[in-house]
Chain A
Amino acid sequence: MVARTETPRRGRAAADRALRLVAHYRPLPGVADEFIDKNGRIRPHWMRFVETMAALGPGEVEHRFELADRHLADSGVVFRVYGAENGDERPWPLSHVPFLIEPNEWRHLEAGLIQRAKLLDTILGDVYDEGKLAADGALPAAIIAGSPEFLRPLVGSKPVGGHHLRIYAVDVGRGPDGRWWVISDRTQAPSGAGYALENRIALSRALPDVYRSFNVERLAGFFQDFRSGLNALNRHEETRVALLTPGPLNETYFEHAYLARYLGFVLVEGEDLTVRDDTVYMRTISGLKRADVLLRRLDADFADPLELNPASRLGVPGLAGAIRQRNVAIANALGSGIIEARAMMGFIPGLAERILGEKLILPNVATWWCGQTLERDHVLAEFDRMVIAPALGATVPGILERGPVLGGDLEPEEKEKLIAAIARRGSDFVGQEVVKLSTTPVWRGTGDSAHLEPRPSILRLYVARSADGWTVMPGGFCRISDRPDARAMTLQQGGASADVWVMSDRPVAETTLLASPDKVALRRVTSTLPSRAAENLFWLGRYVERTEAALRIIRAIAGRLVDEGGDGAAVTARLVAILIASGAASTNDGPMQPAPLALSALTDRKAFNTVPRLAEASRRAASVIRDRLSPDAWRAVADLEILMQAPLESRTGSDMLERANEALRLIAAFSGLAQENMVRHNGWRFLELGRRIDRGLAVARATRYCGLSGQPAELDALLELADSQITYRIRYVMEAARMPVVDLVLLDAGNPRALAFQADRIRQSLADLPAHAPAGILGAADRLATRLSTELGTADVADLDHDTIFGYETALMRISDEIALAYFTHRRATDPTEAGD
């Protein structure tokens, strides 16, 4: 009986909630709305969405939204804001309501996008080859010549594979008449596809039931097609397809790393590549390897300082020459950005009819280029009702410094100045009609006050070139404005993003979105570890280990501060000496007491080599190789930096102890992830080498300071720093004595904290790396490591004195230098001329 009364009541409550969600939804005047049709009725698919959400019940909805947000935070999805202090990264705001598209409407959009991709690719082919469109007057030569993206060194070159476009993005919006309009084309190096994927994962995991019930088209197939299209161009297969990024300072770097990981491409920066005899090579730890295919996220002008922008430090000198010789495929082709000039929009409808013999399926925003007399007169006549925009670039210096303006918004003197500029140099300007974009619902409030509100929205959709044609991503990236004016929408000016759900009229097949790594790398090419990535892995290992060593010393000092009394003072002085010798603290500003010295090593963000600075260096090295770390490992390094930046509540020993312990736990998490989750490829070996070298240095140094006097209190401290107390107690049920302690921390190859253990692991990792010396002969680093390992294996603990131990440290540092010399070739201006294996 209870069940019978419960069900309707729950149903009624859900219906009430649904009603509250929509009760105050009022579309903005003069624009179309996704949610409510022009007769004021909620569209059926949206009603179903509202009901499904309302049925989840209060509390549950908030919980689901939190899940999505947490996923995005955990995966490290951030958007870098330029100009902010310290190059701040801020979290990506997700609107939890997806943008819904019905199947029929999607088929129309899809056809329109494929038509446009085909058209634009043909236009690019003509512009960089025959130039017939210009010669025939179908496309003004001045628009081509005036575009900063018309790259003259590429004129006459034909791209490998025959297509300028491989990935194309287009911003579309729905106009007041309900039709879809193309707002702008992105042909240079479109961004956002990776964010679309992340939004999808976040939302589909938070709302799995809702997601399933809407038969949402999956995204994975699109990326598979795109990937196989690029892989098909990889003829030599010496390296995988490379994703060329401007580096971690770029605003969309997260996406570059994410896509490289997802697609199984190698993430490279300009210095990872070099051109020899018009052929592109990757600098790997195995020498130069031919790179056939580049997916670039670097603007074309920066791609080659030799023939393009001489000021670029991000590019590859000689790349343009390699392209002309058709020795490298690059997606998109350098110079494809010319399509992005707004003036192009004015001619694309005519070009569609001329080239394809078809009308545009999706119209683009009506555009008049003021380089033509009639068009300019039209723009001047309709000035107040038009958007006046730069015709060829992002701005017109001195006139439209901040991009497009609405003619009617201008003050009289601004207007006069702009009109004079148009009269003088009309070719720099276009007039465009104002498109008011449709609004879509966003979720506001919680619990009983939860409700939907309309916000202007614009979709970014993607088309890729697969091995056999054009393919459209069934979904995309929806940008939602904070403000009712949809024209001022960019990611850098606030706003949120939403997932785009293309609904299918049939149930869709389950496809795993994130293919497992072995599925992605069908071929195993083990030697494509760029030397720059190897170097960063190596230094990540060194910094993390160095942080750990400093934390252990600080913890030992702090513990003795808390534990007042006893013969602590002398030992504390030794520990302080180690801290200073390690570089984490200094007495340059005069002598200091142990407590402030340890505190400064733990918290000072300005001095060199303090824990916060080491944590920062670790994170920086990790950020460059983010595509090679699991999200969890990255998180641990990022959290370590955040923890060390946070102010310490008080300066007592126990607070320091607490902080040091917390930090050591994060490092342990990172170490565990690296040990357990990283494939034993060359990348892992460099991380391992870095860690072993620094751990060896730390334990040898600590032994020099605390292991030689034979004082039991000092030996205890040494055991603590080497994390070997328990082993010692089990093995020797006795007070700490010099020989057994030193044997345990230096010579016992079975103790993972001992120097001998580090030396063995270094030797092993070096042996597993690709050799640089002729077969049968050890390289310099291998030779040093073998000698060190043998010395430690045969040493007599009674003979170990200060100088002998210091000699071990010197050997470790020389090994580090030799590794750098042998493998980090991007640092050297010259490469070995032979591409040795």
Chain B
Amino acid sequence: MLYDIRQVTQYSYASPVPFARQVLRLLPVERAGQRVIAADLSITPSPTERHDGFDFFGNRITTVAFAFPHEELKLETRARVLVEKATRPDPAATPPWEHIRRIAVSETDLGPRSPVHFLFASRLIAIDNAIGAYVAKSFPAGRPIFEAAFDLTKRIKADFNYDPEATDVKTLPADAFAKRAGVCQDFAHVMIAGLRTLGLPAAYVSGFLRTEPPPGRPRLEGADATHAWVAVWCGRGAGWIGLDPTNGVVADEDHVVLALGRDYVDAAPADGVIVTSGDHTLDVAVDVIPVEG
């Protein structure tokens, strides 16, 4: 499926910001199953310094500095991305999850796609025995990894309340888990925390959903903003499989990956050091439109 993506992020600061230095992850990553045909990020006002590059995980990053006072910042992404329909393995035919646990930790690859990076606690995701116990119910001995992980995805969708008021961007997985509520970021974090507690490699994925669903299918939660889901490593053969606990589905043609990492911090669309005394408001608009033809 070919998409045209437009994302506009608008910051308004209560008082002028005299200096800011930021890292932006607003250009889609190129990866297996996803080709970026064209992508552009325009920044208003024009920054004093701008460097475009890649981070460790292969995400496209733009580092900017503003050395003059500004009250607004507008970041506009335009991209055309081809998402291929993946051939997923038969869940029942994937290896038992204990096997995945054993081989993941023995991987010798240190590259960005290696499961070793996604086995341990990260900044926002601690190893959490309470979440581990919840997750373990989907992982009886010998159950195939994909089957078990998909079961977990559906359980989170069923057990958790989608409630933007319940959490904020800094909420830790343990809190969201205790409330059984939150938004896509929280559900992804909880699922990752539980999988890692069992010794399984799980990554955080940020991205977009197509704005209008295909005919006959319901509109997915998170379609009008940036979305987040989980990728689980299912062995060298099956590789990384995307699972969306917010919607209880396998991430597929409707999911466009923006960036990925160990948790939200690695994939955050904007991060940085802003010298300011006041508050700010943030407005994000996303359109993901299939290209006809």
Q: Mark B59-77, 1 if CB is under 8 A from A, else 0.
A: 0000101011000000000
Q: How far is the CA of A317 from the CA of B67 in the complex (A)?
A: 13
Known contacts A146-B119, A829-B18, A829-B275; A424/B197 CB under 8 A = yes
Q: For chains A and B in complex, what number of residue pairs have CB atoms within 8 angstroms?
A: 102
User: Of B23, B57, B107, which one neighbours A141 at CB under 8 angstroms?
Assistant: B107
**B55 adjacent to A153 (CB under 8 Å):** yes
Interface-facing stretch out of B6-14, B176-184, B245-253, B265-273: B265-273
Residues of B close to A142: CB separation below 8 A = 104-107, 116, 119
- B-side contacts of A309, CB under 8 Å: 123
CB distance from B110 to the nearest CB of A (A): 4
| Contact stretch, chosen from A130-138, A251-259, A679-687, A740-748 | A130-138
> Nearest Cβ distance between residue B108 and chain A, in whole angstroms?
5
**Which B residues, 226 to 243, have Cβ-Cβ distances below 8 Å to chain A?**
none
Is A392 an interface residue when CB atoms closer than 8 A count as contact? yes
Cβ contacts under 8 Å, B157 to chain A = none
Query: A155-B56, A317-B272 in contact; A144/B23 too (CB < 8 A)?
Result: no
- Is B271 a contact partner of A306 (Cβ separation < 8 A)? yes
| Complex CA distance for A152 and B119, rounded to whole angstroms | 15
State in angstroms the CA–CA spacing of A152 and B267 once bound together: 14
Task: Give the CA-CA distance A372 to B103 in the complex, in Å.
Answer: 10
Chain A minimum-CB-distance residue to B17: A829
B236–chain A nearest beta-carbon distance, Å: 14
Interface check A647, CB cutoff 8 A = no
- Chain A residues closer than 8 Å to B56, beta-carbon distance: 152-153, 155
Query: Would you call B83 an interface residue if the criterion is a C-beta within 8 Å of the partner chain's C-beta atoms?
Result: no
B106 and A140 within 8 A (CB): yes
Given known A134-B108, A306-B23, A307-B23, contact A141–B116 (CB-CB < 8 A): yes
Could you tell me the distance between the alpha carbons of A243 and B56 in the complex, rounded to whole angstroms?
A: 29
Q: What B residues does A833 contact at CB under 8 A?
A: 67
> Is B126 located at the chain interface by the 8 A CB criterion?
yes
Q: Does A398 contact B (CB under 8 A)?
A: yes
A136 to chain B: closest residue by CB? B108
Q: Which residues of B are found within 8 Å of A321, using beta-carbon distances?
A: 51, 63
Q: Is B161 an interface residue (CB 8 A)?
A: no
CB distance from B50 to the nearest CB of A (A): 11
**Contacts A306-B271, A424-B198; A144 near B126 (Cβ below 8 A):** no
- Assembled-state Cα–Cα distance A363/B114 (Å): 32
Contact B67 A830 (CB under 8 A): yes
Assess the A427–B108 pair: CB atoms within 8 A. no
Name the one of A275, A310, A398 contacting B271, with C-beta atoms under 8 angstroms.
A310
Say which residue of B68, B120, B127, B132 sits within 8 Å of A145 (CB atoms).
B120
With A135-B108, A140-B106, A830-B18 already in contact, the answer to whether A277 and B49 are too (CB < 8 A) is: yes
Give A312 to B157 CA distance when docked, in angstroms: 35
The answer to whether the Cβ of A305 comes within 8 Å of any Cβ in the partner chain is yes
Contacts of B49 in A (CB 8 A): 276-277
Chain A residue nearest to B114 in the complex (CB): A141
A428 at the B interface (CB under 8 A): yes
Interface residues on chain B, size class: 35 or more
User: A396 contacts which chain B residues (CB < 8 A)?
Assistant: 127
Tell me if A98 is interfacial: C-beta within 8 Å of chain B. Answer: no
A397, CB-defined interface residue at 8 Å: yes
B-facing mask of A819-834, CB < 8 A → 1, else 0? Answer: 0000000001110010
Residue-wise, chain A 347-380 has the 8 Å CB interface mask toward B (1 for contact) of 0000000000000000000000001110000000
Considering residues A134, A141, A321, A830, which has the most beta carbons from chain B within 10 angstroms of its beta carbon? A141
**CB of A318 closer than 8 Å to a CB of B:** yes
CB distance from A283 to the nearest CB of B (A): 13
Q: Is the CB of B109 within 8 A of A141?
A: yes
The answer, yes or no, to whether A425 is at the interface (CB within 8 Å) is yes
- Does B220 touch A at the CB level, under 8 Å? no
CA distance A317 to B23 in the complex (A): 10
Residues of A within 8 A of B108 (CB): 134-137, 140-141
List A contacts of B275 (CB < 8 A).
829
Complex formed: what's the CA distance from A142 to B120 in Å? 9
Q: Contact between A427 and B199 (Cβ–Cβ < 8 Å)?
A: yes
**B273 near A427: Cβ-Cβ < 8 Å:** no
Closest to B129 in A: A398
Q: A307 to B63: give the CA distance in the assembly, Å.
A: 10
Question: Which B residues are CB-close (under 8 A) to A372?
Answer: 106
Q: Is B116 in contact with A310, judged by CB distance below 8 angstroms?
A: no
Q: Is B121 an interface residue (CB 8 A)?
A: yes
CA distance A145 to B121 in the complex (A): 11
- How many chain A residues sit at the interface, stated as a range, is 35 or more
Q: Is the interface of A mostly helix, strand, loop or mixed?
A: loop
Q: Shortest beta-carbon distance, B88 to chain A, in Å? A: 27
Interface centre among B117, B120, B126 (most CB of A within 10 A): B120
Query: Least Cβ distance of A306 to chain B in Å?
Result: 6
CB distance from B252 to the nearest CB of A (A): 28
Q: Is B21 an interface residue (CB 8 A)?
A: yes
**Which of B51, B68, B110, B198 sits near A135, CB closer than 8 Å?**
B110
Residues of chain A within 8 A of B111, CB atoms compared: 131
Q: A396 to B197: give the CA distance in the assembly, Å.
A: 12
Given the complex of chains A and B, what is the CA–CA distance between A397 and B23 in angstroms? 30
Alpha-carbon separation in the docked complex, A136 to B109 (Å): 9
B128, CB-defined interface residue at 8 Å:
yes
Residues from chain A with a CB closer than 8 A to the CB of B123 are 309-310
* Neighbouring B residues of A426 by C-beta, 8 Å: 105
In the complex, chain B residues whose CB is within 8 Å of the CB of A153: 55-56
Enumerate chain A residues within 8 angstroms of B51, measured Cβ to Cβ: 278, 321
Q: With A310-B265, A424-B199 given, is the CB distance from A141 to B110 under 8 Å?
A: yes
A-facing mask of B77-113, CB < 8 A → 1, else 0? 0000000000000000000000000101111111100
> Contact between A306 and B19 (Cβ–Cβ < 8 Å)?
no
A648–B96 CA distance with the chains assembled, in angstroms: 76
Bound form: Cα–Cα A830–B21 in Å? 11
Chain B residue nearest to A312 (CB atoms) is B273
A146/B109 contact (C-beta < 8 A), A306-B272, A425-B199, A830-B68 known: no
**Cross-chain contact A146 with B116 (CB below 8 angstroms):** yes
Whose C-beta in chain A lies nearest to the C-beta of B274? A829
CB-contact partner of B127 in A141, A306, A428, under 8 A: A428
Minimum CB–CB distance for A427 against chain B, Å? 5
Within the assembled complex, what's the spacing in Å between the Cα atoms of A484 and B144? Answer: 52
Which residues of A312-336 are within 8 A (CB) of B?
Answer: 317-318, 321
> With the chains together, A276 CA to B23 CA distance in Å?
15
A15 to B198, CA, bound (A): 67
- Identity of the chain B residue whose Cβ is nearest the Cβ of A392 in the assembled complex: B120
Contact assessment for A145 and B110 in the assembled complex, using a CB-CB cutoff below 8 Å: yes
Residue of A nearest to B198 (CB): A424
What chain A residues lie within 8 Å of B65 (beta carbons)?
Answer: 318
Cβ–Cβ contact A427 & B68, under 8 A? no
| Cβ-defined contact, A397 with B120, below 8 A | no
- Complex: A95 Cα to B127 Cα, angstroms: 42
Chain B residues positioned under 8 Å from A275 (CB to CB): 21
Q: Which residues of chain B from 10 to 38 have any CB-CB distance to chain A below 8 Å in the complex?
A: 18-19, 21-23
Q: Are B120 and A146 in contact (CB under 8 A)?
A: yes
A392 to B65, CA, bound (A): 35
Query: How far, in angstroms, from A123 to B217 measured CA to CA in the complex?
Result: 54
Nearest Cβ in chain A — how far from B259, in angstroms? 14
**Alpha-carbon distance A432/B226, docked complex (angstroms):** 47
Which of A145, A277, A317 touches B119 (beta carbons < 8 Å)? A145
> How far is it, in angstroms, between the C-alpha of A135 and the C-alpha of B197 when the chains are bound?
26
CB distance from A477 to the nearest CB of B (A): 32
Structural contact, B23 and A398, CB atoms closer than 8 A: no
A575 to chain B, nearest CB (A): 40
Residues of A within 8 A of B197 (CB): 424-425
Q: A141-B114, A142-B116, A144-B110 are in contact. List 8 more A-B contacts (CB 8 A).
A: A142-B104, A145-B114, A146-B116, A152-B57, A306-B22, A317-B272, A398-B129, A427-B119
A-B residue pairs in contact (CB < 8 Å), sample of 16: A131-B111, A134-B109, A134-B110, A135-B109, A136-B108, A140-B105, A141-B109, A144-B116, A152-B55, A305-B273, A307-B23, A425-B127, A426-B105, A427-B105, A428-B127, A830-B18
Give 7 nearest A-B pairs by CB, closest first: A152-B56, A829-B275, A145-B116, A829-B19, A829-B18, A146-B120, A317-B273
